[in-house]
């Protein structure tokens, strides 16, 4: 097939905080240095900038100040500055307030933001610099020549569900670049492919993740003051499970309420969405939300592994930034500023390399030097073992986190990690060992009351997700394991870990139950790709423009 | 004088033409000031149909080159017609075809074009046209300036076809010949592209019986089908039924299917997921039959029966047949 080819100097895959910061930094370097202008293009799979952005979010403005010193006069949408931090340990019925806020959770000087609005704003600055931002164009494949990254291929449009071209068929375009910056987000489909092909994770710990589920609510205005940040630990999670709840108060009676659960849980019957509902039913949360209305829903995985899990982020002709690489501080629950910082540093590396006409792997290795010499390592190295310590349970983790603060992260050696999909235990192991009864599947979930708690399908509606129905399923699953071994071994956990009701086992007469994939429900969170215990699910890009619509999230 | 440009394909009138006629009649009440132009080749039946309108006359713009639509031939033909009839205003329905040639026609004559008009305010000296902007977030009041004729396209559905005034007797039909050089037509039309054939248009149905997962298996569909027949209703379904292939996709109601608003909507074994409800909540009377008394469908239902559809549906059929 004939494909169009486009040549640029720098190609940025992904229009999130990392990718857009890289684009903006390139424009700044260009202005300062003068000379032949570099051509820069940004690809974004969402229909419009920011539509797939989901975070809590509390922003540490340190990178923003460096990247856009006049961010206030340029209208940065920072919804509220944080004026109060509260941390609670929850039990089923009550709460215990921490007498002081643990230093990593102190948010003085930070802002509560809507990442969706923030990224929309960043994109407007990028476009004002004359950089092309191609929204609705997913990058489906990496183009390589041996170990050299040449660029990417964008997804084809107009393929029907049987894989045949429709009358509206348009072949994807090959975009070649001197340097491609991969900012494809948590568990990025191209970064995953690069890590496999170039073994970028060699000598590192396997990456670990969590899933964050969030709803945006509108409640009576006097309920909680804008700028209030609440974090919780404990209920509804078991001590062996990592995670917690968050409540961020925005202006105008808007509240972001969310729950993060580690995607390294052992119980195959665990359902993060059920945990989120139980969190909302806790008197602390229910009291805040009562009489309010849920207006948006979303879910997204987040990289929790920290310093030791970050892969080699450079290759010949390519750099990896942001969540794709795992630049997130799981102790401070923050990553936007690190994503932006990594984007800036990648832009500087790429700019200098192109000017020196050397974009080889050894030249782009300067990216690693910049990370090691700058604020990213300073911040992440200090908490390098904390997430791993939580692998030994909540109290071990908390104790270690405290210890870490005193010692700057020192520990004799490195705490090992196993990938989340390996940690999930079989039903017979998890329940058999303890002699517990296996709960009766999803039916154990408390029935949603449709006021405070919702079923997944209703929540999916509020994510605004939309995909053309007539296209191939974008979740590639080796379904032969589902109704044979998985039902018995794990009880088909895909039905539970997916927060968007994509996976359903449905009756089909003689064969028992078969997997049905409701791909158009997908909110692009990547959880299935991460946690599936057999690692038989691969998330690939659907047709451009498909996916959630996270207005205000 | 106002010229309304009709749209037809293979001798079949596009209903939106009547909406454009209604808009023209709102602009000028005098029937004498409105002429309808029908471009085509051998389409007298279209002209006869339009002759019922309360207007001055119908003008057939005829040429063999107009048999199948091409933007070049239409532009050339209508340019000649407009020059001969010299109207002050040209009104077109905002169809796909209009969107294709109207900008070209207006540009060739160097006259203003106001597209997608949703309303007309003709209280002042000059009519003001209302059109949406920024994907409907704002509406703008627009007044065309400069030499006439001015071009206006009317949004589909903004004016009601049945409100177009009919005359007491059919008006005169005359035809004018236009010359179109074969070499001036640069496009070769192919057979019109048909999106997946929609055999059934549920949006037109007065009564709908819709089935959901409660029907349990394809072999039970006749239970619903019999009820639909007894009610003179169309059969429809929620997503899982169509996903399983028990009914074709074109019968799916909801956010990924069709949106309907019949007089009667009878939901059989449908739980009422919001994705389904958004496609049918505009129905005048909603009746739900579901085993689960807590099912969300009962929140939108006017009448609800908590019970087994396999008992209730046949009972309703028996009652209707009495």
Could you state, in order of their start, the residue ranges of all structural domains in chain B? 2-184, 202-320
Q: Where are the alpha helices (DSSP H) in chain B?
A: 16-27, 44-50, 71-85, 96-109, 221-231, 239-243, 274-277, 297-300, 309-320
Q: How confident is the model at residue A394 (pLDDT cuts 50, 70, 90)?
A: confident
Residue A217 sits in the same domain as residue A152? no
The answer to whether B172 touches B224, Cβ cutoff 8 Å, is no
* DSSP string for residues in A352-385: HHHHTT--SHHHHTHHHHHHHHSHHHHHHHTTTT
B217, B243, B273: residue with CB nearest A516: B243
CA distance A251 to A257: 14
CATH of the domain at A158: 3.50.50.60
Task: Convert the pLDDT of each residue in A139-148 to its tens digit.
Answer: 999 999 999 9
A180 CA to chain B: closest CA distance, Å?
Answer: 34
When divided into structural domains, chain A yields a total of: 2
Selection from A66, A50, A228 nearest residue A122 by Cα:
A50
Burial class (CB in 10 A: 0-12, 13-18, 19+), A73: exposed
A216/A266 same-domain check: yes
What average pLDDT score do residues B67-81 get?
A: 95
Instruction: Mark which residues 452-471 of A lie under 8 Å from B by CB.
Output: 457-458, 460-461, 469
A346 plus A361 within the same structural domain: yes
Q: What fold, for B202-320? A: Rossmann fold (3.40.50)
- Asked if A138 and A61 sit in the same domain, the reply is yes
Q: To the nearest whole percent, how much of chain A has pLDDT over 90?
A: 79
Report CB contact under 8 Å: A457, B244: no
How far apart, in whole angstroms, are the C-alpha atoms of residue B11 and residue A173?
A: 42
Residue A535, domain member (yes or no): no
Superfamily for the B2-184 domain: HUPs (3.40.50.620)
Q: Is the pLDDT of residue B194 over 70?
A: no
Q: Which of A256-270, A451-465, B192-206, B264-278 has the lowest mean pLDDT?
A: B192-206
More confident of the two residues B125 and B300: B300
Bridge partners of residue A505, in order along the sequence: A515
- pLDDT for A484 equals 87
How does residue B81 score in pLDDT terms, banded at 50, 70 and 90? Answer: very high
- Nearest chain B CA: its distance from A457 CA (Å): 7
Averaged pLDDT for residues A98-125: 93
Q: pLDDT of A303-328, one tens digit each?
A: 999 999 999 999 999 999 999 999 99
Query: What confidence score (pLDDT) does residue A417 get?
Result: 72
Q: Determine how β-strand B8-9 pairs with β-strand B12-13.
A: antiparallel
- Asked if A506 has any chain B CB less than 8 Å from its own CB, the reply is yes
pLDDT band of B36, cuts 50, 70, 90: very high
pLDDT digits (tens, 9 = 90+) for A224-239: 999 999 999 999 998 8
User: Which residue of chain B is at minimal alpha-carbon distance from A460?
Assistant: B275
Give the residue carrying structure tokens 């959630």.
Answer: A548
Domain-embedded: residue A434: no
Q: Which of A197-211, A380-394, B74-88 has the lowest mean pLDDT?
A: A380-394
Among A332, A360, A381, residue at a domain's last position: A381
pLDDT digits (tens, 9 = 90+) for B100-120: 999 999 999 999 999 999 999
Residues A267 and A351 in one domain: no
Q: How far apart are CA B205 and CA B261, in angstroms?
A: 8
Q: Do B296 and A520 touch (CB under 8 A)?
A: no
pLDDT bracket for residue A68 (50, 70, 90): very high
Mean pLDDT confidence for A68-95: 95
ipTM of the complex: 0.78
- Residue B194: closest C-alpha in chain A: A167
Would the pLDDT of B126 be above 90?
no
Same-domain check for residues A220 and A364? no
Does the structure show a pLDDT above 90 at A247?
yes
- Residue A439 or B23, more confident: B23
The answer to whether the CB of B251 falls within 8 A of the CB of B200 is: yes
> What percentage of chain A carries pLDDT values higher than 70?
96
Residues 6+ apart with CB under 8 A from A6: A41, A173, A174, A175, A176
CB pairs under 8 A between A and B: 23
Portion of chain B with pLDDT greater than 70, in percent: 98
Q: Residue B67, Cα to own-chain centre: how many angstroms?
A: 23
pLDDT of residue B198: 54
Helix/strand/coil percent split, chain A, to 5: 35, 25, 40
Q: Which of A32-36, A402-406, B249-253 shows the lowest per-residue confidence on average (mean pLDDT)? A: A402-406
Residues of A in contact with B256 (CB under 8 A): 469, 520
Tally Cβ neighbours within 10 Å of residue B42: 12
Instruction: Give B240-281 pLDDT, tens digit per residue.
Output: 999 888 999 889 999 888 888 889 999 999 999 999 998 898
Nearest by CB to B275, which of A167, A457, A516?
A457
Task: Using the Cα atoms of residue A356, residue A360, residue A364 and residue A368 in order, give the sign of their dihedral.
Answer: negative
Query: Taking the CA atoms of chain B, what radius of gyration do you get in angstroms?
Result: 25
- Residue B195's pLDDT band, with cuts at 50, 70 and 90, is low
Q: How sure is the predictor about A103, in pLDDT bands with cuts at 50, 70 and 90?
A: confident
Q: Identify all chain B residues contacting A520, using CB atoms and an 8 Å cutoff.
A: 256
Q: Are A56 and A247 in contact (CB under 8 A)?
A: no
Q: Please tell me which residue, B123 or A327, carries the higher pLDDT value.
A: A327
Q: Does B147 touch chain A (CB under 8 A)?
A: no
Q: Is the dihedral of CA B286, B291, B297, B298 positive or negative?
A: positive
pLDDT band at A443 (very low <50, low <70, confident <90, very high): very low
Confidence of residue A445 (pLDDT cuts 50, 70, 90): low
Instruction: Tell whether A103 is covered by a domain.
Output: yes
Q: How far is B273 from chain A (nearest CA, A)?
A: 7
Averaged pLDDT of chain A? 92
3-state secondary structure of A295: strand
Higher pLDDT, B171 or B42: B171
Residue A546 inside a domain? The answer is: no
Residues of chain A with Cβ-Cβ distance to B299 below 8 Å are 450
Which residues lie closer than 8 Å to A313 by C-beta, 6 or more apart?
A200, A319, A320, A321, A325, A342, A367, A368, A371
Q: Is the pLDDT of residue B197 over 60?
A: no
Rg of the Cα trace of chain A? 23
A28 neighbors A35 (Cβ within 8 angstroms): no
Among A360, A381, A402, residue at a domain's last position: A381
B156 falls in which pLDDT band (50, 70, 90)?
A: confident
CA distance B297 to chain A (A): 12
What is the rounded distance in angstroms from the CA atom of residue A377 to the CA atom of residue A306?
10
Percent share of chain B, pLDDT over 90: 74
d(CA A258, CA A215): 6
pLDDT at A244: 93
Q: Does any domain span residue A285?
A: yes
The Cα–Cα gap between A329 and A231 comes to: 16
Which segments of A408-447 are extended strands (E)?
A: none
Instruction: Return the SS3 of B57.
Output: strand
B144, B112 Cβ separation under 8 angstroms: yes
Per the structure, the complete domain to which residue A173 belongs is given by 5-69+118-204+311-381
Cβ-based neighbours of B7, under 8 Å, separated by 6 or more: B13, B14, B16, B17, B92, B93, B95, B97, B98
- pLDDT above 90 (res B161): no
The Cα-based distances of A546 to A135, A163, A211, A520, B247 in angstroms read 11, 17, 21, 8, 26
Residue A322 inside a domain? The answer is: yes
Indicate the residue among A381, A399, A432 that finishes a domain. A381
A506 has a pLDDT exceeding 90:
no
Q: How many whole angstroms separate alpha carbon B77 and alpha carbon B75?
A: 6
Do A32 and A140 lie in one domain? The reply is yes
Give the pLDDT score at A255. Answer: 97
Beta strand pairing status for B128-133 and B119-121? antiparallel
B274 with A516: Cβ contact below 8 A: no
Please give, rounded to a whole number of angstroms, the shortest distance from the CA of A167 to a CA of chain B. Answer: 9
Per-residue pLDDT at A168 exceeds 90? no
Q: Cα angle vertex A108, ends A107, A112, to 5°?
A: 60
């Amino acid at each position: 097939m004939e494909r169009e080819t486009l040549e640029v100097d720098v190609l940025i895959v992904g229009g999130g905080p990392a990718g857009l910061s890289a684009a903006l930094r390139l424009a700044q370097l260009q202005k300062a240095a003068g000379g032949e202008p570099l051509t820069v293009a940004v690809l974004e799979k969402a229909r419009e900038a920011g539509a797939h952005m989901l975070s809590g979010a509390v922003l540490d403005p340190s990178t923003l100040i460096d990247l856009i010193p006049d961010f206030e006069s340029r209208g940065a949408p920072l919804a509220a500055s944080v004026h109060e931090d509260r941390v609670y340990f929850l039990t089923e019925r009550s709460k215990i307030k921490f007498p002081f806020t643990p230093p990593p959770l102190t948010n003085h000087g930070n802002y509560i933001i809507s990442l969706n609005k923030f990224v929309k704003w960043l994109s407007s600055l990028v476009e004002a610099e004359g950089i092309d931002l191609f929204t609705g164009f997913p990058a489906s494949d990496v183009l390589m020549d041996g170990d050299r990254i040449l660029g990417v291929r964008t997804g084809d449009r107009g393929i029907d569900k049987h894989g045949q071209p429709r009358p509206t068929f348009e072949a994807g375009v090959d975009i070649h670049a001197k340097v491609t910056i991969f900012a494809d987000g948590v568990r990025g489909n191209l970064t995953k492919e690069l890590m496999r092909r170039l073994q970028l994770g060699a000598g590192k710990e396997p990456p670990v993740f969590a899933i964050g589920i969030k709803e945006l609510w509108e409640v009576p205005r006097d309920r909680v003051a804008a700028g209030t940040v609440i974090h919780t630990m404990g209920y509804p999670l078991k001590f062996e499970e990592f995670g917690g709840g968050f409540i961020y108060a925005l202006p105008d009676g808007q509240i972001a309420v969310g729950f993060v659960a580690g995607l390294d849980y052992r119980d195959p019957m665990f359902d993060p969405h059920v945990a989120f509902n139980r969190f909302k039913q806790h008197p602390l949360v229910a009291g805040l939300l009562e009489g309010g209305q849920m207006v948006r829903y979303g879910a997204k995985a987040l990289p929790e592994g920290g310093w030791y899990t970050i892969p080699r982020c450079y290759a010949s002709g390519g750099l990896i930034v942001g969540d794709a690489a795992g630049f997130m501080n799981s102790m401070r629950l923050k990553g936007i500023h690190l994503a932006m910082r990594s984007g800036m540093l990648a832009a500087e590396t790429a700019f200098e390399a192109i000017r020196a006409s050397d974009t080889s792997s050894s030249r782009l290795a300067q990216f690693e030097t910049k990370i090691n010499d700058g604020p990213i390592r300073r911040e992440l190295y200090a908490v390098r073992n904390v997430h791993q310590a939580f692998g030994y349970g909540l109290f071990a983790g908390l104790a270690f986190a405290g210890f870490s603060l005193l010692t700057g992260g020192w520990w004799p050696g490195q705490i090992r990690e196993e990938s989340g999909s390996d940690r999930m235990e079989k039903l017979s192991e998890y329940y058999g060992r303890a002699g517990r009864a296996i709960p009766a599947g999803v039916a154990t979930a408390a029935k949603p009351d449709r006021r405070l708690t919702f079923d997944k399908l209703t929540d999916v509606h509020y994510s605004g997700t939309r995909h053309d129905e007539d296209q191939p399923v974008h979740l590639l699953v080796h379904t032969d394991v589902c109704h044979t071994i998985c039902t018995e071994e794990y009880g088909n956990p895909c039905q539970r870990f997916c927060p968007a009701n994509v996976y359903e086992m449905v009756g089909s007469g003689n064969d028992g139950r078969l997997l049905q994939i409701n791909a158009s429900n997908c909110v692009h969170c990547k959880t299935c790709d991460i946690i599936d215990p057999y690692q038989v699910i691969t998330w690939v890009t659907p047709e451009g423009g498909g996916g959630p619509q996270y207005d205000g999230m | 004088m106002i010229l309304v440009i009709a749209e037809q394909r293979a001798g079949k009138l596009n209903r939106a033409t009547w909406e454009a006629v209604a808009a023209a009649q709102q602009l000028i009440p005098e029937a004498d000031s409105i002429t309808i132009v029908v471009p085509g080749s051998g389409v007298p039946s279209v002209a006869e149909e339009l002759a019922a309108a309360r207007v001055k006359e119908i003008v057939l713009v005829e040429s063999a080159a107009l048999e199948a639509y091409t933007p070049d031939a239409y532009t050339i033909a209508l340019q000649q017609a407009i020059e001969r009839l010299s109207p002050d205003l040209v009104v077109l329905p905002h169809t796909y075809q209009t969107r294709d040639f109207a900008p070209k026609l207006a540009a060739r004559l160097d006259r203003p074009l106001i597209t997608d008009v949703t309303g007309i305010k003709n209280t002042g000296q000059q009519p003001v046209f209302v059109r949406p902007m920024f994907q409907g977030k704002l509406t703008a009041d627009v007044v065309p300036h400069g030499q006439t004729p001015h071009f206006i396209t009317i949004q589909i559905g903004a004016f009601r076809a049945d409100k177009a005034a009919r005359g007491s007797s059919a008006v005169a039909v005359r035809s004018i010949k236009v010359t179109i050089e074969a070499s001036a037509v640069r496009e070769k039309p192919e057979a019109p592209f048909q999106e997946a054939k929609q055999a059934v248009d549920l949006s037109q149905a007065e009564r709908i019986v819709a089935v959901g997962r409660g029907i349990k298996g394809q072999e039970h569909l006749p239970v619903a089908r019999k009820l639909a027949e007894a009610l003179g209703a169309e059969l429809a379904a929620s997503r899982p039924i169509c996903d399983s292939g028990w009914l074709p996709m074109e019968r799916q109601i909801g956010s990924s299917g069709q949106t309907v608003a019949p007089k009667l909507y009878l939901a059989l074994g449908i739980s009422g997921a919001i994705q389904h409800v958004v496609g049918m909540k505009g129905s005048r009377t909603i009746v739900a039959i579901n085993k689960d008394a807590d099912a969300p469908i009962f929140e939108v239902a006017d009448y609800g029966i908590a019970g087994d559809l396999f008992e209730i549906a046949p009972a309703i059929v028996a009652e209707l047949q009495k």
